[in-house]
Amino acid sequence: MKPTEDNVATNDWKVWGYEHMYTNGEAKGLTKTFIDYMLSGDVQDSLVGKLGYQSIKSMKVDRTADGKVTDVK
């Protein structure tokens, strides 16, 4: 098994994790604007890959904090 983008996206390669952004409560103002930008197509479809990361949009599974993996619908 190799750590390819497809194997990560399907959880066949088990060693992966989300990058996180934390806020103190619900994001508002410029913080919300920044997080929305980071999740936008402009960033997820281009910049994320150029920086060597995998876009969350390519994931076919979701993993909870306790490790439960479910298919993305």
18-50 pLDDT, tens digit per residue, is: 889 999 999 999 999 999 999 999 999 999 999
- Residue 69 has a pLDDT of 95
Q: What pLDDT does 73 receive?
A: 81
What pLDDT, on a 0 to 100 scale, did the predictor assign at position 2?
94
Checking if the pLDDT of 65 tops 90, the result is no
Decide if domain 5-17+26-71 falls under CATH 3.40.190.10. yes
Q: What is the pLDDT of residue 36?
A: 97
7 to 17, 45, 59: CA distances (angstroms): 13, 19, 10
Provide CB contacts within 8 A for 64, sequence distance 6+. 70
pLDDT at residue number 27: 98
